[in-house]
């Protein structure tokens, strides 16, 4: 039997659980997750290695109406995903099956003419009777290959999801080596973990005003220590003040929860040095965006 493979985009409105599903399927945290919308900014590849096949998942920022240049770059990367992949997975939430972004997503899907599945996520949050009417309504809007209810949180339905996806794969090569689960560099992963902790610890607008860059990452085998220097960019002095917190309390909390997760992943002690820099309007400045990796 020949090897099968394919690129699969996970598309959907913000916060439906795209990154959570990717992490669940891979059994590893490749994408950061938070209860706030628009956590994911870049496209992230997650590679699933099966017996005789390989699925390359593309986690995308949600598709939504654009506001700032940062949003525009996030939406553009989600939209171009339709063109680049073999299979499109559209994800909605069972208790919020409609979203203002859905017409745009379905329009893109019709244009792309790719095999696609509709995933109805978060089925742990309510009774299953809700599913049938949702499936019927979506069937009228677009002929999905199948409709798969899952809980990305507890793994319900993910086996069936993998079976369905597998049936859509076509003969093709293994694009990535067996041990590779993501295309992210380690330093990008570290900057994302720091950003996730900022999303989790701070309120309202602050997480959206933040970008993180790792400046140095050095192993010090003699002391079994990984030392990391990272810089957090914010847009104003007042944001800097909030981020640092009274007596540095906020920074300490963000730093120590990030450090614990980095230690867990690399199985070593970590020294994490975080600095904060005000860079006015980075999210509106095209050059700053490129420099910060968006
Ligand atoms: P994304 O913006 O689509 O990538 O969504 P995330 O993966 O960041 O998830 C957004 C929020 O929904 C997080 O708080 C997740 O823990 C939560 N979430 C994701 N999947 C599920 C699920 O199946 N059930 C429940 N109850 N919550 C979920
Ligand atoms: Mg995400």
* 190, 106: one domain: no
In tens, the pLDDT along 136-191 reads: 999 999 999 999 999 999 999 999 999 999 999 999 999 999 989 999 999 999 99
**231, HSE (Cβ side, Cα atoms, 13 Å):** 9
Q: Taking Cα atoms as reference points, which of 42, 278, 72, 16 lies closest to residue 183?
A: 42
User: In the structure encoding, which two tokens stand for residue 267, read together?
Assistant: 């199985």
How does the average pLDDT of the chain come out, rounded? 91
**Burial of residue 121, with CB atoms counted within 10 A of its CB: 0-12 exposed, 13-18 middle, 19 or more buried:** buried
The CATH number of residue 51's host domain is 3.40.50.300
Name the residue with the closest Cα to ligand 1, atom 19. Answer: 17
In tens, the pLDDT along 98-124 reads: 988 898 889 889 988 899 999 999 999
Q: Is the CB of 18 under 6 A from ligand 1?
A: yes
Report yes or no: 271 and 225 within 8 Å, Cβ to Cβ: yes
Global pTM value: 0.88
Q: Is the CB of 73 under 6 A from ligand 1?
A: no
Q: How far apart are the CA of 208 and the centre of ligand 1, in A?
A: 18
247, part of any domain: yes
- Alpha helices of the chain — where are they, by DSSP H? 18-26, 69-84, 102-112, 131-141, 158-168, 186-201, 237-244, 249-266, 286-291
DSSP state of 187: H
* 38, 135: one domain: yes
Final residue belonging to a domain, choices 126, 142, 171: 171
For residue 62, what pLDDT is reported?
A: 67
């Amino acid at each position: 039997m020949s090897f099968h493979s394919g690129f699969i985009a996970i598309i959907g409105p913000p916060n439906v659980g795209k990154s959570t599903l990717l992490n669940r399927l891979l059994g590893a945290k490749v994408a950061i997750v938070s209860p706030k919308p628009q956590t994911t900014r870049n496209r992230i590849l997650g590679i699933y290695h099966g017996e005789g096949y390989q699925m390359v998942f593309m986690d995308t920022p949600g598709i939504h109406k654009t506001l700032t240049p940062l949003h525009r770059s996030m939406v553009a990367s989600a939209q171009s995903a339709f063109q680049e992949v073999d299979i499109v997975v559209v994800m909605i939430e069972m208790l919020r099956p409609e979203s203002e972004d859905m017409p745009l997503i379905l329009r893109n899907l019709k244009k792309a003419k790719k095999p696609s599945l509709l995933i109805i996520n978060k089925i742990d949050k309510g009774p299953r009777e809700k599913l049938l009417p949702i499936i019927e309504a979506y069937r009228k809007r677009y002929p999905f290959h199948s409709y798969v209810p899952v809980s990305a949180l507890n793994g319900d339905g993910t086996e069936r999801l993998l079976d369905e996806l597998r049936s859509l794969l076509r003969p093709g090569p293994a694009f990535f080596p067996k041990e590779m689960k993501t295309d992210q560099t380690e330093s990008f992963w570290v900057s994302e973990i720091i950003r996730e902790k900022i999303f989790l610890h701070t309120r309202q607008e602050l997480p959206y005003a933040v970008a993180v860059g790792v400046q140095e990452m050095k192993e010090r085998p003699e002391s079994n220590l990984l030392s990391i220097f990272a810089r957090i960019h914010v847009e104003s002095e007042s944001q800097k003040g909030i981020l640092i917190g009274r007596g540095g309390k906020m920074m300490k909390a963000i730093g120590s929860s990030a450090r614990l997760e980095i230690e867990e992943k690399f199985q070593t002690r970590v020294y994490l040095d975080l600095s904060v820099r005000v860079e006015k309007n980075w999210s509106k400045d095209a050059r700053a965006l490129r420099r910060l990796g968006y």
